């Protein structure tokens, strides 16, 4: 790396690379590689003049902390959706309707997909060591093969929860989406994107300069102009997802200090490029961000904080 033009203390670089894989860090130094003059779409192995290992490492540590902050918000939203689904579904149908062959319980789940839905639930139920599951199995196992929905939503994966949401009636989908302030179609796309982000974070993947493969829908300008004026919230980078997280938490956890922690992280790393995350230059003027009910202050415009 030093021979290719990177500046840094060799002993420290060896130490860092012993803790963090070379190829994991390579995603953070890719923008520092020189552009091939013969083909600007390609990068050379050499680094641009002035490239410092400390700058690469800062981007890595920033991204690690960003993942933790993103996961905190995703967790809050996931638990809220699980709780709402259990409530709506059990009140509308019954505690065990999700596992029945009643087409009204899961009207949008095709028969051929039923095994793929219920199979992982039974597997998780069988291997789980949760006390509440062991108690239910001991006391009610002879009468019920399946857990009541308020228990099963506690052990299912985010992906299975998403399937349950999509398979439920349109009425239940609307009821679950309503507290989040968006149409259920938009909310469906949000859940799919958050599932992807959750998986990226769980595998310690890179968020900072990643272009999202699964893009969430942005509410229409006519119905929710705050997503478009005076700042357009795009959906191809992590800024769009962070805006969704902020928007949701303002509705289900207004007491949260989540956005304050994100602002603090950004202020601690002023040299990490915001544009790589999809932040517009005037992003703080976005109504969803400009008035933070967590900090009590209005944040000015600009790239920094």
pLDDT in tens, 152-170: 999 999 999 999 999 999 9
Query: What is the Cβ-side half-sphere exposure of residue 287, based on CA atoms within 13 angstroms?
Result: 7
Query: For position 292, what pLDDT does the model report?
Result: 58
Looking at the whole model, is its pTM more than 0.85?
A: yes
Query: For position 76, what pLDDT does the model report?
Result: 97
Query: 8-21: per-residue pLDDT in tens?
Result: 999 999 999 999 99
Q: Which residues have CB under 8 Å from 78's CB, separation 6+?
A: 158, 161, 194, 198
Give the number of other CB atoms < 10 A from CB of residue 105: 21
Q: Which residues pair with 43 in a beta bridge?
A: 35
pLDDT along the chain (305 residues), means of 10: 97 96 95 95 96 98 98 97 97 94 90 93 92 92 91 95 97 98 97 97 95 96 96 97 97 94 96 96 94 43 33
Sign of CA pseudo-dihedral 260, 265, 271, 275: negative
DSSP label of 234: -
Distances (CA, A) of 245 to 48, 83, 97, 111, 288: 36, 18, 31, 34, 10
Query: For position 103, what pLDDT does the model report?
Result: 87
Tokens of 294: 């967590």
Query: For position 302, what pLDDT does the model report?
Result: 34
Query: For position 142, what pLDDT does the model report?
Result: 86
Burial of residue 63 (number of CB atoms within 10 Å: 0-12, 13-18, 19+) = buried
Closest CA to 253 of 94, 75, 131: 75
């Amino acid at each position: 790396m030093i021979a290719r033009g990177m500046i840094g203390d060799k002993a420290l670089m060896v130490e860092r690379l012993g803790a963090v894989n070379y190829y994991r860090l390579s995603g953070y130094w890719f923008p520092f590689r020189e552009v091939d003059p013969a083909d600007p779409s390609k990068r050379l192995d050499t680094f641009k003049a002035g490239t410092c290992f400390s700058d690469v490492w800062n981007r890595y540590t920033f991204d690690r902390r960003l993942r933790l902050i993103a996961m905190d918000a995703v967790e809050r939203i996931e638990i809220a959706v699980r709780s709402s689904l259990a409530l709506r579904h059990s009140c509308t149908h019954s505690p065990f309707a999700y596992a029945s062959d009643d087409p009204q319980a899961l009207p949008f789940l095709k028969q051929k997909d039923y095994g793929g839905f219920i199979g992982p639930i039974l597997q998780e139920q069988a291997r789980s060591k949760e006390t509440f599951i062991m108690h239910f199995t001991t006391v009610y196992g002879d009468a019920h093969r399946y857990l009541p929905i308020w228990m099963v939503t506690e052990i299912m994966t985010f992906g299975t929860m998403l399937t349950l949401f999509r398979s439920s009636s349109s009425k239940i989908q609307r009821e679950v989406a309503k507290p989040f302030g968006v149409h259920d179609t938009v909310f469906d796309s949000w859940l799919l994107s958050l599932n992807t982000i959750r998986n990226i974070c769980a595998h310690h993947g890179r968020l900072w300069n990643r272009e999202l493969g699964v893009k969430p829908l942005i509410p229409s300008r006519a119905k929710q102009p705050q997503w478009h004026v005076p700042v357009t919230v795009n959906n191809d980078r992590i800024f769009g997802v962070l805006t969704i997280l902020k928007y949701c938490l303002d509705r289900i956890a207004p007491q949260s200090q989540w956005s304050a922690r994100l602002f603090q992280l950004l202020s601690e790393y002023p040299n990490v490029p915001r544009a790589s995350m999809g932040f517009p230059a005037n992003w703080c003027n976005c109504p969803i961000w400009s008035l933070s009910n967590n900090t009590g202050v209005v944040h000015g415009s600009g790239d920094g904080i």
